[in-house]
Amino acid sequence: MKQIQGNSFNIDEDVIGRITFGKNIFCRSNEILVSKNASNPVFGYVATITIKNNITDNGKPYCVVNDIDVFNEGDVVVINRSGEIIFLYEVKSKHNVIMATERCNHRCIMCPQPPILQEKDKTPFNLKLISLFDKHTQEIGITGGEPTLIDNNLFILITHIKKKIPKAAINILSNGIKFADKEYAMKLAKCRHHDLQIDIPLFSDIAEEHNRIVGAKTFYKTVQGLYNLALFRQRIGLRIVVHKQTYKRLPQFADFIYHNFPFVAQVAFMQMETTGLAKDNFEELWIDPYDYNNELREAVLLLADRGMKPYIYNAQLCILPEDIRCYAQQSISDWKDIYIEECDGCVLKGQCAGFFESNRQAHSSHIKKVEHISSDISC
């Protein structure tokens, strides 16, 4: 999440609120006022953010920052006692997510966000957070950790989104194990959300390989979860993170998916984000993405030729074979998306996913600006 550092005053507990520049003079109780010229924290707001250092505070919470241009009317932030301002929701972003829990029942070797063992129930906080989102938000992700570990609270979150932000599509990222329980899968269906997709990672067509990568013997539970979700006509996406331990069997895996899960709405092949455990296990996982192009191409075209919907996430267009570039998506969240020096002057910059901030050092050695578009990159 985007984060900036300021200096907070009179803030002992985290303050959460929706950013306003003073547009709305009513209902200030959930809003944080951002004002260049505030000479004292303004009455009614949960806090004030300013660039002025010498303000008369009357014991009210405020935070001094260097720059207020980073804020937009409608963003939702939390300010903590150390002066960190964390953006929980960005009104201009398409990648806003709710973190249902930081706990997980998998220990994936390339997990970018290693799970924690215990935590306070985040649901009350998340319900408040959802209430602060702009009601015209187009899409909300529910992620973790493993979101189904909050059990039925997952359905409370979905129902709350449906009520507060009726048009928003919901995307849930889950390992699918919990949906091996048919009742639980049915409860998701009973939410009757008009536009919900559940994305489930699967890493191999061989159970032992998948289990080794996720650190648990759960391959068949995930498979059962997929079938149960399909039974209740839920829209499913499959996610495959490509690294040294998964790339070799991509064509066989794609064939397995075609034969066993023809009902999935999409299959995303994802370049790895080298942070968290992926960074710790770098030597065992890293392969230059250019070096798995043959396997990736074969897998993508195998699915596409058979009428399925393959996508390539987090990849750089210049290293992909031209005939599969059209499957690449701009999938990296805005706040961690970068381009590197080699991209200067590249004609594909607007269409290319770029890089994860954390991959600034760990990226393909074949990145090279594209000077002319030689072919149409639409499919």
**Any contact of residue 362 with ligand SF4 (CB under 6 A)?**
no
58: left (phi over 0), alpha (psi -120 to 50) or beta: left
Q: How far is the CB of 305 from ligand SF4 (least distance, A)?
A: 25
Q: Is 245 in the site for ligand SF4 (CB under 6 A)?
A: no
Q: How far is the CB of 369 from ligand SF4 (least distance, A)?
A: 4
Choice from 123, 274, 316, 359 touching ligand SF4 (CB under 6 A): 316
- The DSSP element (H or E) to which 85 belongs, if any, is strand 84-89
Query: Is 324 a binder of ligand SF4 (CB under 6 A)?
Result: no
Determine the Cα–Cα distance for residues 31 and 346; give it in Å rounded to an integer: 41
Closer to ligand SF4 by CB, 125 or 290: give it: 290
- Figure out which of the listed residues 328, 352, 356, 359 binds ligand SF4, where binding follows CB under 6 A: 352
DSSP characters over 201-269: E---SSHHHHHHHHTSS-HHHHHHHHHHHHHTT-EEEEEEEESTTTSTTHHHHHHHHHHH-TT-SEEEE
d(CA 178, CA 175) in angstroms, rounded, equals 8
346 binds ligand SF4 (CB under 6 A): yes
Residue whose pair of structure tokens reads 């000479």 in the numeric block: 39
> Where do we find the tokens 């449906």?
162
Binding ligand SF4 (rule: CB under 6 A), the pick from 28, 348, 358, 362 is: 348
Residue 369 interacts with ligand SF4 (CB under 6 A): yes or no: yes
Secondary structure percentages of the chain, helix, strand, coil, to 5: 30, 20, 50
Please report whether residue 312 would count as binding ligand SF4 according to CB under 6 A: no
Contact region with ligand SF4 (CB under 6 A), list: 29-37, 201-209, 290-298, 335-343: 335-343
Going 330 to 331 to 332 to 334, the CA torsion angle's sign is positive
Q: Which stretch binds ligand SF4 (CB under 6 A): 69-77, 239-247, 272-280, 311-319?
A: 311-319
359 belongs to the binding site for ligand SF4 (CB under 6 A): no
Stretch near ligand SF4 under the rule CB under 6 A, chosen from 105-113, 134-142, 259-267, 342-350: 342-350
Asked whether position 258 contacts ligand SF4 by CB under 6 A, the answer is no
Closest approach of Cβ 274 to ligand SF4, in Å?
16
Q: Does 367 engage in binding with ligand SF4 (CB under 6 A)?
A: yes
Distance, in Å, from the CA atom of 8 to the CA atom of 63, rounded to the nearest integer, reads: 4
User: Is 342 an interacting residue with respect to ligand SF4 (CB under 6 A)?
Assistant: yes
Residue recorded with tokens 């300010």: 79
SS (H, E, C) 250-268: HHHHHHHHHHHCCCCCEEE
Binding residues for ligand SF4 (CB under 6 A): 316-318, 339, 342-343, 346, 348-349, 352, 367, 369-370
